[in-house]
Structure 1
Amino acid sequence: MNVIVITPPKCIPKETLVIKSLFDSGLQTLHLRKPGLKPDGFKRILDDIPQKYHSKIMLHSCHEVSKEYAVKGLHYPSAIRPPTPINHLEDSLLQQSTSFHTLEEVLREGGWGEGLSYAFLSPIFNSISKQGYLAAAFEEMQLEQAVRKSSVPVIALGGVSVDKIPFLHRMGFSGIATIGTIWESVDPVASFEALQSECCKLAV
């Protein structure tokens, strides 16, 4: 199972230093999510992150920045998701991801297109970072069937903590994504390493 870290929506002190430390500790994918931030703001953040790590960063908005920085790919919130089928981007190796909030989306007839690399499904559990954002009422058997039948890898998002990982593994999720478990921790790197360790144990 993969561990994906999503940035807090607003910039926080020493954020890029923490991001660098997360990459140094083995993070393979960071979702740079800053609603409302202009392209120049994204560029400033990327400039503060060593260039060798840019290829591990997915952009949630200001996708045009990908023309100047060698990022990993583009994330499409459901509101700006391109029409299906989502094909590979022309003359580009950029990955593409999106967000699902219902099992109907996960099981979309005809799939989503070969260009979609993976999708978040949320909220699986009560959110840690978003107060009042409660878990969706997914019935366990239906959830597992949908995740396992999905045409794209599904990543669990929403309230994910170390103790929830075995359940998510049983449900067939390809990975986990986290915000609050990392950014509301007194030691974000240690929290990431704990998540990563649990996922690695289940992969054996």
Structure 2
Amino acid sequence: MKHRLYSLPSFFEGEASLLNSLFKVGLPCLHLRKPQQTLDAYTCLLEQIDASYYSRIIVHQYPELVSKFGLLGLHLTEAARQHLNNEELQALISEQHQNGCLVGTSVHQKKALFSLPSNLDYSTVSPIFPSISKKNYQPTEHWQITELEFSFALVGLGGMGMETLEVAYEWGFREVAFLGAVWNDLSSVLQNYQLLCKKINDLTL
């Protein structure tokens, strides 16, 4: 079972240091998601992250950062994706792929998956379980995906933690994304992350 981590939506003191530590212990993919934050603020944080880790970062805003820093890829929010017509979306995906970058998006309803371009690299689907980081953010779909087949990967997001990983695995998810289970206690971020990694390893032995 693969995994990735979403950043907290706001910046905080010591964030770059914590991210560097997470990468050092093996974090394979970070989603840098800071809604409504400025390009300068994003740039400042990226400049504090060890450049050897840029190839593990997917950014949710400011596509120009992907080429500037040599990042792993670009994530299109559902709103950003819906803002583009099919031609524009295909052109954006092709451009990123030509530069060796990934492109993914988000969906919150199962039916939306069937209208996504087949050449996307992944789509997050959420929320799978009641959110850890957002109050009263509950699933509106039953996300068992064992019967679904797409050309892109499906990444389970929302409420993903120690108590739900096994269920997610049983429902067919082979990749998940963490947020609250890692970040809800800033004093134990590394410990939280490493416990989740151990749980994943135990599931897939």
Q: Normalized against structure 1, the TM-score is what?
A: 0.89
Higher RCO structure, 1 or 2 (CA under 8 Å, sep 6+): 1
Aligned residues: 197
Residues 48-67 of structure 1: CA deviation (Å, up to 9, x unaligned): 10000011000000111122
Residues 72-97 of structure 1: CA deviation (Å, up to 9, x unaligned): 00000011115447443263101011
CA distance in 1, matches of 2:13, 2:129: 28
Q: What letter matches 1:189 in structure 2?
A: L
Pairing 1:116-195 to 2, within 5 Å after superposition:
116-138=120-142, 143-145=144-146, 148-185=148-185, 186-195=187-196
Pairing 1:1-204 to 2, within 5 Å after superposition:
1-81=1-81, 82-84=84-86, 86=90, 87-89=93-95, 91-106=98-113, 108=114, 112-114=117-119, 116-138=120-142, 143-145=144-146, 148-185=148-185, 186-204=187-205
CA distance in 2, matches of 1:3, 1:194: 13
Displacement of 1:5 in angstroms is 0.7
SS at match of 1:5: strand
SS at match of 1:162: coil
Counterpart contact for 2:109–2:141, Cα < 8 Å: no
CA distance in 2, matches of 1:9, 1:203: 30
Q: Percent of counterpart pairs with the same letter? A: 26
Gaps of 5+ in 2: none
CA distance in 2, matches of 1:67, 1:137: 36
Q: What letter matches 1:192 in structure 2?
A: Y
SS at match of 1:99: strand
Q: CA RMSD in A?
A: 1.8
SS at match of 2:43: helix
- With over 3 angstroms needed to count, the CA separation of the structure-2 counterparts of 1:166 and 1:83, relative to structure 1, is farther
Displacement of 1:37 in angstroms is 1.5
Counterpart contact for 1:159–1:180, Cα < 8 Å: yes
